[in-house]
Amino acid sequence: DLLTIPECLGVKIAMGDHRCSFPTTQEVLRVLSDCRVGGMICGHDSYLHVHLGDLPIAFPAFMECVKMGMPIKHIRPTHVGRHPEVFAQAIAFTKAGGYIDITTSGGNYMGSAADAFVMALNEGAPIDRITFSSDGHGSMPRFDKNGEMIGLTVCKVSDDLKMLQELAGKIGLEKALLPLTRTIATALCLDNKGVIEAGKDADLLVMDKDLKPIHLFMKGRQVMKDSEVIVKGAFEE
């Protein structure tokens, strides 16, 4: 897939989750090796995207792989804020040079993704090693007041914007933009993304003072005008 599909950037597995297959460290190392070699053949980096649960067993495995010679840049854990011990391990992972991803659609024990971001910074995590993602359209459990699961909901892509607005109120807009723009582009080696510069992809979002979208350009093409979407996908009404 890495060789034949340019948009393919790696492999996704699950670890530390009661629903996962509990891969061994050696199995994780093998997949990481496949990602690394595949990326070398294709001419771009490749990554192991790891869904995390509440069990604090993934990061020790990651660091064992690093000790065995695997560059830490290939390991990309997401949902890092679901458990205090897992989050502490995630912060240590950033200090060792790794990237972590915080889910904007919920599942962070300390509150919102913005709260998790600020907590990570207060604990010494480098600001340029933290990204945001929505887990867009993924399933998210719903719980009652007793903590019992009562059903499922859907993670919303719009939660990224919501967290930008919340985080900007905590640390300022310039820093709040990083996990959704420059940091994620740098983390995935997407050289034409993440910044507004000559020669880049001309992705531009214009917002009002309340950080609500007004105009949006994608590769120079306007797709939102005056807060109305004017270009839609093939399956959108």
Give the active site residues.
Answer: 135
Distance (Å, whole) CA 56 – CA 147: 21
* Residues whose CB falls within 8 Å of the CB of residue 152, separated by 6 or more in sequence, listed in order: 139, 140, 141, 142
Question: Cα torsion for 101, 105, 110, 112, to the nearest 10°?
Answer: 100
* Residues whose CB falls within 8 Å of the CB of residue 204, separated by 6 or more in sequence, listed in order: 196, 215, 216, 217
Place of tokens 């024990």: 109
Single-letter code of the amino acid located at 90: A
- On whether the CB atoms of residues 162 and 105 are closer than 8 A, the answer is no
* Tokens read off for 50: 């790891």
Distance (Å, whole) CA 216 – CA 44: 28
Beta-strand relationship, 10-15 and 47-52: parallel
C-beta atoms surrounding 67 within 10 Å? 8
Please give the helix or strand (H or E) that residue 171 lies within, else none: helix 159-171
C-beta atoms surrounding 206 within 10 Å? 11
